[in-house]
A and B are shown apart, each in its own frame.
Chain A
Amino acid sequence: MGTPRTLYDKIWDSHVVDQLEDEAYILYIDRHLVHEVTSPQAFEGLRNSGRKVRRPDATFAVADHNVPTKDIEKGITDPESKLQVDTLEANTAEFGVPYFSMTDDRRGIVHIIGPEQGLTLPGMTIVCGDSHTSTHGAFGALAHGIGTSEVEHVLATQTLVQEKAKNMRVTVHGDLPLGVTAKDIALAIIGKIGTAGGTGHVIEYAGDAIRALSMEGRMTLCNMTIEAGARAGLIAPDETTFEYVKGRPYAPKAGMYEQAVAYWKSLSTDEGAHFDKEVELDASDLIPYVTWGTSPEDALPITGSVPAPGDFADEGKRGAAERALGYMGLTAGMKLTDIEVDHVFIGSCTNGRIEDLREVAKIVEGKKVKETVNAIIVPGSGLVKIQAEAEGLDKIFEAAGFEWRQPGCSMCLAMNADKLDEGDRCASTSNRNFEGRQGRGGRTHLVSPGMAAAAAVTGRLTDVRELM
């Protein structure tokens, strides 16, 4: 037995192709996911230098950021968005990269369809020109976002030049109380360690509360890891993981599957392995969270009040709080449950999966969206949409007054037509409450799907447990 290793150490070690100099390594990439926004310049670079895609079979493309969520049959009307999607289509055809088109039922947000198709497997290295690639860490894959120059590097070489990150472990003990979800765990962690708390680290999530999460919940948690500053989040694969992967279109087939599972079972942190940073949380203490400001670290339990700049010891944080209060149009001391919203967005790579939609349906069934609220639900993929409709969830949503849309990134980042106007206030299941994120001057409160559903019904930020 050598030195005990963390899960991250193991995946890292098994992907090192070569060491360049001191801390720089060439790391092999097993899966490269590509979307329309961060790839055109990379394909252009390949063309200009006469290079090819080394492994089209390990690459997969889909358009998600720019796609409309209404009347997709009519195509994209915004000429710039259309050009970007057309460019992806042309590039994938030219370089032989597999691609799900906008009319394919299997299309959707890249981080939803990867796992759904079995493109995401334990032990893999996975990259994509998108920071929320951290989502795939839920499977015990080392997955992180990269820039466009790195996209080009991976296309050309199937490798990435990387420095090894430090190891951090977040252990969540105990059982989650009713109404508290993976999203609340994520917000509680970010609220505790801050948006730079994980910088330079890969976070492994451990503990009973993590083991008890479904794959959907694990994906939500790993998705938000980038919001804690860590490039990647990891959860060791277990029976829940193997069960999810089994039988998916691109997963190993019978015979090979058993061989793969035997290997995947070795993917856990050794007893006594070293972590540079450790954080512990007790799940049973958690209650539903909501953000009040313009950074995901501005997260508080729904029972709290809007803080005052003076509550922060750090000068930088004080300045940020003052700016955030102004931007958000909030007064220090007001109760979070007194904040009225006029928009609700349910969807995104954070919370656009079937389990999220079932959670929403449970809360809103037989109730009505408040007349002052504009509420939309955007499934994360075509298959999530089909599944939801097969379960009759769309009928529940529409009867309650939600708009039921077609899949895409939508109002999470508002690159398509779905956006907030100046001063609009939204309870959103997405991942970022940055200034202007959901539209210039728009105000975002990050919440879980159940909390978003509750806000839609009451027209204000609401403790979902009151509606359960």
Chain B
Amino acid sequence: MEKFNKLTAVAAPMPLVNIDTDMIIPKQFLKTIQRAGLGKNLFAEMRYDNDGNEKEDFVLNQPAYRNAEILIAGDNFGCGSSREHAPWALLDFGIRCVISTSFADIFHNNCFRNGILPIEVSPEELEKLMEDAERGANATISIDLEAQEIRGPDGGVIHFEVEQFNKHCLLTGLDEIGLTLKKENKVAEYEESRKLQQPWL
């Protein structure tokens, strides 16, 4: 997994609430058996018409936002299906950070397993960031994970919270499975005691 520490990039505004993972990556693209290559289909039904042509009014099709690496979105981002194809598609497009007032739990977890930082801010902070993002490519936003700070184009600083384990994983690009496997003896111990207490399992 790619590490995440600091990022300064264009932020694309998506002032919609309840952006679900079906919107982020529609099901016809879930038939892949790989992780890579989903970026071209990110937000496919909002981004392309029925003939596959780009819709001009969709934010990521506008020249200012084609290289956006941050998304600023409405409440409850990533709700619905658990498909990890959603963060894979975001990452493949180049998005490394999503900022919203809240995230669906499974999507939130999936982001951290893929080097994407989801940041939760207050409604007032979101409004300000949305305005900043609407200024286009001239207004970049900076993220500092170590310091847990968002810096707007006008220098305003927003502090954000992040779970320490998740922060550590992103900063170091940690192999979580490897970490758990180091605790193999504890897992084996647990299994032994369970066999006695609940032998039907």
Does A9 belong to the interface (CB within 8 Å)? no
Q: In the complex, which range does the number of interface residues on chain B fall in? A: 35 or more
A199 touching B105 in the complex, CB below 8 Å, given contacts A316-B75, A415-B30: yes
> Is there contact, CB below 8 Å, between A38 and B180?
no
User: Smallest CB–CB gap between A8 and chain B, Å?
Assistant: 14
Q: Is A239 an interface residue (CB 8 A)?
A: no
How many angstroms from the CA of A103 to the CA of B153 in the assembled complex?
A: 60
Contact call B163/A434, Cβ cutoff below 8 A: no
Contact B26 A440 (CB under 8 A): yes
Report if A330 contacts B (CB, 8 A).
no
Return the contact of A199 from the options B16, B104, B168 (Cβ within 8 A).
B104
Q: Count contacts between A and B, CB distance < 8 Å.
A: 195
- Is there contact, CB below 8 Å, between B183 and A26? yes
Q: Interface size on A (CB < 8 Å)?
A: 79
A147 and B187 contact, Cβ closer than 8 Å, known pairs A22-B165, A152-B177 = no
A422 at the interface (CB under 8 A from B): yes
The smallest beta-carbon distance between A187 and chain B, in angstroms, is 16
Contact B183 A150 (CB under 8 A): no
- Return chain B residues, CB-CB under 8 Å to A156: 177, 180-181
Query: From residue 8 to 31 of chain A, which have CB atoms closer than 8 A to chain B?
Result: 17-18, 20-24, 26, 28, 30
Residues of A within 8 A of B82 (CB): 38, 129-131, 145-147
B33 at the interface (CB under 8 A from A): yes
CB A1 to nearest CB in B, in angstroms, measures 20
Q: Are A319 and B165 in contact (CB under 8 A)?
A: no
Interface presence of A148 (CB below 8 A): yes
Tell whether A83 is near chain B: CB-to-CB under 8 Å: yes
A182 at the interface (CB under 8 A from B): no
When distances are taken between beta carbons in the complex, the residues of chain A under 8 Å from B200 are 121, 252, 256-257, 259-260
Query: In the complex, A183 Cα to B187 Cα: how many Å?
Result: 39
Within 8 A of B (CB), among A208-237: 226, 229-231
Judge whether B165 and A23 touch: CB under 8 Å: yes
Query: Given A24, A38, A195, which contacts B83 in the complex, CB threshold below 8 Å?
Result: A38
CB < 8 Å: which of A147, A163, A231, A260 contacts B113? A147
Q: Is A23 a contact partner of B33 (Cβ separation < 8 A)?
A: no
Binds A, one of B3-11, B17-25, B90-98: B17-25
Q: Please encode chain B, from 61 to 97, with 1 for each CB lying within 8 Å of some chain A CB and 0 for all others.
A: 0000000000000111001111110010000000000
A415 near B176 (CB under 8 angstroms)?
no
Residues of A within 8 A of B183 (CB): 17-18, 26
Q: Does B148 contact A (CB under 8 A)?
A: no
Q: Which residues of A contact B165 (CB under 8 A)?
A: 20-24, 161, 163
Q: Which of A145, A161, A317, A415 interacts with B27 by CB under 8 Å?
A: A415
Query: Which B positions have Cβ atoms within 8 angstroms of A?
Result: 15-18, 20, 22-23, 26-28, 30-35, 45, 50, 74-76, 79-84, 87, 102-106, 109-110, 113-114, 163-166, 168, 176-177, 179-181, 183-184, 186-187, 190-191, 194, 198-201
21 A-B interface contacts by CB (under 8 A): A17-B183, A21-B168, A24-B166, A37-B31, A37-B83, A51-B177, A66-B31, A83-B31, A84-B31, A87-B33, A131-B82, A157-B180, A157-B187, A165-B105, A196-B76, A199-B76, A230-B105, A316-B75, A319-B15, A320-B16, A436-B23
